[in-house]
Structure 1
Amino acid sequence: MIRALLVDDEEHALNILRILLERTGDVEIVGEATNGFDALEKLKRLRPDVVFSDIEMPGMNGVELAERIGAGNIDVQVVFVTAYDRYAISAFEKDAVDYLLKPLEMDRLVKTVQRVKKEVQKSAGRDEIAASAEELEVRSSVERPPQLNVCFLGGVSVHNSRKMRMKWRTGKERELFSFLAFRKGERVHRDVIVEALWPEEHYQKSKVYLHTCVSFLRKDLRQLGFDGALLYESEKYHLKDDLFETDYEVFKRRAQKLKAVSFGRSVEALESALDLYQGTLFKDEDYSWAEEDALKLEQVAGELRMELAAQYEERRDYLKMTDVIFKHLAVSPYDEEAYRLLMRAQFASGRHEEVFRIYHVLLERFGELGIEPSEMTVELYNEIRRKERP
């Protein structure tokens, strides 16, 4: 049996919900409340497994109640009982256990109860594992603070030290984590998050969507061993500062260090920095809030690649020079200087036909923009043609 607390400001709605839940045979009603403040008081005392809460209530609505519960890191599920648009909710997350639609349907209610039971059982299993892990940690003489490995370059990837990957329930859950992790150290107001992730949605619906993502994210972080990692205070969310370090942070810090050195940047230092740059920031994700940062970071990476290519040329390592320029052109196909470097590399390697092909690729690219190559590029091409003649 799962223990449930029911919250609704309408007595008739409470009665219907209580009767239907009791009919499932799997729910024990441990308490009822008619407002959010009363619910919080009873929650502390009754310790239910799940709270069934209406959304629209005076004083403190259901979403705010859920936020307070989450802020207190209370291990209890919240199921919204709402008359919100069926199709909007379905489109957001068809598998969500967090919604029951009014008027209540018995079949849907039974499915929700079964899902809640599964989550309660999972939570109990995780608690046993966590207790065992804590006991082992106490016995260990070596302190190993848990760390979450977060990658944003080339796509979003998150895993713990045991290589367990975060399995996102929705794309918006992944975006919420990315948004907060990218702003590491900041306390981000709920309204700022809503505006960034759901700019076209009605504000009240967006708040419900945000809470659902927060609920999913807390559960998934807990499953990886990071309970209490997502914090809420004064309508602001943030991830614990010591929880993780992103590859974005590491690359940016390394690039800034190289930029501070006015001369003598070694090939090895440049290679090491670029090894961290596995692709564009949030590749394949449509995060409009990160577009400017992604462009700036790609510009930094491009400058490092071009400098590395020039140093390879000094070493006459034309194979590596060619490889790094091709990588650069894959993301910056209109960089004229890169085409010049590539032509020089191919000519020095004796691949004269490639020089002509590259030049014509440049002409096609620039033709798309309605511009002509610079005199410097044309002169280089003509010079190579003259050298190539017997």
Structure 2
Amino acid sequence: MKTILVDDELWAMDKFEIEAEFIPDIEIVGKFDRADEALRFAETNRVDFALLDIEMPGMNGLELGKALRERYPEIVIIFVSGYDRYVLDALHCGADYYITKPYSSDQVTSALKRAKLLSRRQEKPLYIRTFGAFEVFLNGKAVKFPGAKVKEIFALLVDKNGGGLKSEEAFSMIWENKEYTDTNLSLYRNAVHRLAEFLDSIGLGGLLIADKNMRWLNTELYDCDYNRFLDGDIKATEEFQGEYMTDYSWAENTLGMLCEISKNRRKI
């Protein structure tokens, strides 16, 4: 990712550059202490990722971010500032992430890794929407699952965000009125088998991973509003309007967690 750093404090850019050495695919192509100089550079050089200080003389970072987004709609933008009060302004400017000064090495590393994930996300054909009704899209088209239970199992796996889903847990949540017996458990096993065959048939065979009594999804293979929200993505925070997988009653526990996180973030 071709990266520019824009900050009127040299130490901040130097610190970020040192951390960037340990993150593959981050290539710093320009360092600027004035926003107008950075914009002139971007007019003739491709930029994939920009780390922008907000308070700078002349054109500020928010104005620069808008200009960069107009030129490169897919650019990843992370704002930095010594104050929390600019979070909402950054959000409205299309920021992907926001960190405050003085930031730690862990925050810098997290922001860099986040930038890489955002860049990869733009290339992923599979998008999963959990805010509101649960829907899955492959190359922009809605995926039609072979049965409601098959789709619900997939939703449960998405809810785990890469964590493991045990057969007993899935059965109790989806067939809550049935007794957990070997005979009834065959309902779940059959549905999981259909899910695996279906995913394979649409070119997503590596998405579902199984090991004995446990199954999970490879989160690297899809983009999801829920995952981005948990990662601190401010766009996903704005997209969340108090609804999560409204089709399923078991999703209420996760909804409560999301509402609490959203409430705390909006206090900043």
Instruction: Verify same fold: TM over 0.5.
Output: no
**Bigger relative CO (Cα 8 Å, ≥ 6 apart):** 2
TM-score, normalised by the number of residues in structure 1? 0.31
Higher strand share: 2
Bigger Rg over Cα = 1
